[in-house]
């Protein structure tokens, strides 16, 4: 291969790079969906209506630690940080390095911590950040497409890491997550948000 061809190849941006430049946040989100479709719940971020309804039951004045699984490009991160106390902490966990890298570069808030890892390891991650428990855990992970055993493990670990009175907040396109939550959460409130692409089901599992 000639030097000119090598230089041209180096200068030609990849599809992902072109999308990030053209679409910014949306491009990163779409690229992450294409590369890790089983771990991303939707190709389009949640609507502001879904965010508002999902977070409505949270008692922010009592929240020291908020955890999110599958933060994507931060659709919920910014609203959570806006509502949290100044001394509270937000930990987000994702197996997708594209999202973790994007969030680390774009969210400049000392209360924010992005972790590349699995939600199955939430207890270890929470302890590593100096906490014994979480007050609320939010998830947009697609429980219906997770590998066998992963959904069960995440639901169990989430229940263990929550404080009594804390809640597991889940938004999905199907009700599959409820089957994973039911063995651990005696009280599960349910809702629905039409103004979302696609309309989604909302669940709040409370730890008694």
Domain-embedded: residue 164: yes
Q: 11-60, pLDDT tens digit by residue?
A: 454 555 544 444 455 555 555 555 555 544 444 567 889 999 999 999 99
Domain-embedded: residue 5: no
Close Cβ partners of 19 (under 8 Å, ≥ 6 residues apart): 27, 28, 30, 31
Q: 141-195, pLDDT tens digit by residue?
A: 989 888 899 999 999 999 999 999 999 999 988 888 999 999 999 999 999 998 7
Whether the Cβ atoms of residue 116 and residue 91 lie closer than 8 Å to each other: no
CA–CA separation, 184 vs 205, rounded Å?
Answer: 9
Q: Which is nearest to 58 in space by CA: 66, 68, 49? A: 66
Domain membership of residue 155 as a residue range: 35-206
pLDDT(83) > 70: yes
Domain-embedded: residue 21: no
How many domains does the chain divide into? 1
Domain-embedded: residue 24: no
Sign of CA dihedral 94, 99, 101, 103: negative
> Rounded mean pLDDT of 84-99?
95
- CATH number of the domain encompassing residue 129: 3.40.50.150
Domain-embedded: residue 120: yes
- Biggest alpha carbon–alpha carbon distance for the chain: 68
Domain-embedded: residue 29: no
Rg of the chain over Cα atoms, rounded to whole angstroms, equals: 18
Tokens linked to 70: 């599958």
């Amino acid at each position: 291969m000639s030097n000119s061809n090598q230089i041209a190849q180096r200068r030609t941006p990849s599809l992902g790079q072109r999308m990030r430049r053209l679409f910014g946040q949306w491009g990163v989100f779409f690229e992450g969906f294409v590369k890790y479709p089983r771990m991303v719940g939707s190709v389009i971020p949640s609507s502001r209506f879904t965010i508002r309804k999902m977070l409505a039951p949270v008692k922010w004045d009592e929240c020291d630690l908020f955890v999110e699984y599958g933060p994507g490009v931060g659709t919920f991160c910014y609203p959570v940080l806006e509502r949290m106390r100044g001394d509270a902490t937000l930990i987000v966990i994702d197996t997708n390095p594209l999202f973790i890298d994007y969030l680390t570069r774009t969210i400049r808030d000392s209360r924010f911590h992005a972790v590349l890892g699995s939600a199955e390891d939430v207890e270890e991650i929470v302890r590593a950040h100096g906490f014994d428990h979480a007050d609320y855990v939010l998830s947009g992970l697609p429980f219906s497409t997770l590998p066998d055993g992963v959904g069960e493990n995440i639901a169990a670990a989430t229940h263990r890491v929550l404080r009594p009175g804390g809640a597991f907040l889940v938004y999905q396109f199907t009700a599959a997550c409820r089957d994973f939550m039911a063995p651990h959460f005696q009280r599960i409130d349910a809702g629905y948000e039409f103004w979302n692409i696609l309309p989604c089901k909302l669940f709040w599992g409370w730890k008694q």
